[in-house]
Amino acid sequence: MSLRNDYGYAIPKGIAGGIFDLSLKNIFTYTIDEGNEMVPGMGVVSGITKGETVKLPVSGSIADDFEGVFVHGSKQLENSKDGKVSASDYDAIGVMQKGRIWVIIAPGTTIAAKGKAYLVTDGDNVGTFTDAGNATESDKVGVLATFTGVSDADNNIAVIEY
């Protein structure tokens, strides 16, 4: 008789929008502009009212527009009738502006410690993060953040620090 010690699943390292550690962090509450649907771990930029509202980045967003990352757990999220789990129009969410957080990464992103993080501003992966070699210059904007080198490729997430 043998002892079973493999159950066929692994606990993920983190969760998109999850706070990585207990280091100093700043999290502020913002309201999502109308017409935006987002999930924790996405980067957000200034909305219609700077300092009060946020939205997903758009083509032409600049580094100064970057407000931070949507924090998991800052908003109770439930499945919608079409099975999506997201926040949208006029929801209040927490946005981390300083600290270490798990973010969603675009496919093909290379995670290197101290590698500069870029926010994707156009296409299917808008709001996710990528590296210098992925996407074109017009599809991303450099933000004041770097990858820590910690990632979970199976779940398309990585940790950034800013």
- Calpha distance 149→161 (Å, rounded): 10
Q: Is residue 26 a contact partner of residue 46, using CB atoms and an 8 Å limit?
A: no
Q: Has this prediction a pTM greater than 0.85?
A: yes
- Calpha distance 24→155 (Å, rounded): 26
Nearest to 17, CA basis, from 4, 27, 5? 27
Nearest to 77, CA basis, from 44, 104, 40? 40
- Tell me the per-residue pLDDT of 104-127, one tens digit each, with 9 for 90 and over: 999 989 889 999 999 999 999 999
User: Residue 3 pLDDT > 70, yes or no?
Assistant: no
- Calpha distance 51→30 (Å, rounded): 8
Please enumerate in sequence order all residues whose Cβ is within 8 A of that of 153, keeping only pairs 6 or more positions apart, or say none: none
The rounded percent of the chain whose pLDDT value lies above 70 is: 93
Strands (E), 17-122: 26-32, 43-46, 53-55, 66-70, 92-98, 100-104, 116-120
φ, ψ (nearest 5 deg) of residue 155: -110, 10
- Domains of the chain, by residue range, sit at 26-161
- Tell me the per-residue pLDDT of 59-100, one tens digit each, with 9 for 90 and over: 989 999 999 999 998 777 777 777 777 888 889 999 999 999
Q: Note the pLDDT of residue 29.
A: 95
Q: What is the DSSP letter of 137?
A: G
